[in-house]
Every structure is written in structure tokens, then in C-alpha cells.
Amino acid sequence: MTLIKPGSRLQGHDEWKVVVKWMSRLVKWTVVTVRGEHHGPDRVTIDCTLDVMTNYLPWVFPIPMRANLLLRRDAASGGEKIHRYYEEMNGNQQLNRETTFAPLGVLHEKLRWYHGQLLAAIINAGIL
């Protein structure tokens, strides 16, 4: 059984398979509207809105997202490669020990981890 915590790096086919399996059951369709792109020397930030229609509810959920692509120079090709990718809902950073009062950040990290473990176990069991 593969357990995935939110905010973690998904690596390998098995971890992606759990996420895709769950999302394909939950989401009927998604429309991505890009509101803006911001380019810097080592980063690309994309502000967008995801309009999501689920299989279970009759209305569309708009989810504002900010996608961050951190770039790194590739010595072999001379170009740039994506070094890290992360998303922020509503453009807000996730709370962790570096972005807020340390004990509160640790608590928030543990809650995200717990809920991710629980959700992954439910998905792997075929309940959701």
C-alpha cells in the first residue's frame, strides 16, 4: 500500500497511480484559466483558476492557484530545466515551521501528514 502525504514529492509510478485513480473518480472535468504569467531569472510563476466539476455535486468549484516552477541551468544542454514545482492555493504559502510560529507550523505539517495518510489509505482500500 502506497501512502502519500500532502506537500510531499510524488515519485514513481505507484504514487502517481493512487492520485490519478482518486482524481479520475472524483472529477468530471476541469477548465484551467491562466490569469497571468510572471517570469524571473530562476522562476516562473503562473496565476490561474481551476474550475472543477465533480461527479458528486452539481456545481462548479473555482479554485485560485499559483504554480511555481523553479528553474536551474543545465550545464550539458546550456538551457534551463525545472528543478522544483509547487502550488499554492489562493496564492498563500503552506504553513510550516519556516513560514510561521514554529510549534504552530509543526502542528500544521503533522495535520497535513495525518490527513494525507488517511486519504491514501481510504483510496487504496477502494472506499473512495
Measured CA to CA, the distance from residue 117 to residue 21 in angstroms comes to 16
What is the arithmetic mean of pLDDT over 87-101? 77
Considering only CA atoms, give the Rg of the chain: 17
Q: Tell whether the model's pLDDT for residue 3 goes beyond 60.
A: no
For residues 91 and 64, is the Cβ–Cβ distance under 8 A? yes
pLDDT at 38: 93
**Dihedral (Cα; 120, 121, 122, 125), 10-degree rounding:** 120
pLDDT at 34: 92
pLDDT bracket for residue 12 (50, 70, 90): low
Q: Tell whether the model's pLDDT for residue 50 goes beyond 60.
A: yes
For residue 4, how many other CB atoms are within 10 A of its CB? 21
Indicate the CATH number for domain 12-124.
3.10.450
DSSP letter assigned to residue 79: S
Sorted by sequence, the CB contacts under 8 Å of residue 27 that are 6+ apart come out as 52, 53, 54, 55
Q: Tell whether the model's pLDDT for residue 7 goes beyond 70.
A: no
Q: Provide the residue ranges of all domains of the chain, joining segments of one domain with +.
A: 12-124
Instruction: Judge if pTM exceeds 0.85.
Output: no
pLDDT in tens, 53-78: 888 888 898 989 888 888 988 888 88
Sorted by sequence, the CB contacts under 8 Å of residue 77 that are 6+ apart come out as none
What is the arithmetic mean of pLDDT over 3-22? 62
pLDDT at 128: 62
